[in-house]
Amino acid sequence: MSQGVGTGPRGSEQPLNEAYDTALLDLDGVVYAGGKAIAHAVPSLERARAGGMHLAYVTNNALRTPQAVAEHLTELGIPAGADDVITSAQAVARLIAEQVPAGSRVLVIGGEGLRVALRERGLVPVESADDDPAAVVQGYGGMELPWGRFAEASYAVRRGVPWFASNTDLTIPSGRGIAPGNGAAVEVVRIATGKEPQVAGKPLPPMHRETILRTGARRPLVVGDRLDTDIEGAFNGGVDSLLVLTGVTDGARLLAASPEHRPTYVDADLRGLLTSQPEITREGDGFRCGGWTATAGADRLELAGDGESLDGLRALCAAAWTAAGDGSSELDGDKALARLGL
């Protein structure tokens, strides 16, 4: 099943956990935030797994090892093994291994997840630009990563050593709010060197390839909270996606989404995996979803109805995206969102 470019959300008569064989789940902002399970995540995943859906956890966060992530999920009540976890560290390690000789030294700017992934590919992690590395790899290193690590990366990159990044997410959800992500750290080295890294993580093809290779998914559904990584990654891979509104994306950002950032399905949280999804149909000059209708006027969106708010949001998106065409609409969605409480 592939997502049509720019079509917006669509319906599914079957519950999603029956329509797809594998859920490729983002972690931060979808399953947990700040280390704690997001509401409804644990029972929803338990039911999806019991119904036969394979659950794979796909994260751009390269800090922790797959084993550590699996242990954390198990502690939260979501049984998982290391083989159920795919990280951007694994994707970038494969990318490096394809370009440097086996046994090469790689300067690591990040956490243990990167080191384990490199060793899995027969590469040797080192800590200094003076260790004659064949590559530099940069991944999220946590809040305590010393500033001097960025200088070490810069020394090597300016000497001409190939530079790789696990991902370029500018932010990362935490229990206290939104914090700087690996993309912010990559910017530091980019400013210091004027160079550009090769990037492996979502939404780019190396991460999608790593995920499919490790899961063997035939009918995958990407589940995420970020338009610019999860949803764009699904778009680039030609697979369907479910956006949950438990992380960084809100209704306003969704309404303004460009074609490559438009999910197949939208739901409040992971309970959306267990349900069918309402159809969005044309009605006159607008669109109907559930008890809501939405139309796009010359300078604003019009919304009417008495159904569920998410049905209204889906109808609004269909109207706005059809009117915008290329996603550059000047329509005023704020008033419509206010009527939805979003």
> Which residue numbers are catalytic?
26, 28
Instruction: With residue 13 as reference, give the H or E element that holds it.
Output: none
Question: Do residues 55 and 84 lie in contact, with contact meaning Cβ atoms separated by under 8 Å?
Answer: yes
Tell me how far apart the alpha carbons of residues 270 and 25 are, in angstroms, rounded to a whole number: 10
Burial of 67 (0-12, 13-18, 19+ CB in 10 A): middle
Which candidate, 272, 270, 315, places its Cα nearest to that of 296? Answer: 315
End-to-end Cα spacing for the chain: 30
Question: Do residues 341 and 303 lie in contact, with contact meaning Cβ atoms separated by under 8 Å?
Answer: no
For CA atoms 69, 70, 75, 76, give the dihedral sign. Answer: positive
Place of tokens 């590919």: 121
Tell me how far apart the alpha carbons of residues 58 and 87 are, in angstroms, rounded to a whole number: 6
All residues at 6 or more sequence positions from 126 whose CB lies less than 8 Å from its CB, including other chains: 105, 106, 107, 108, 133
Question: Do residues 202 and 260 lie in contact, with contact meaning Cβ atoms separated by under 8 Å?
Answer: no
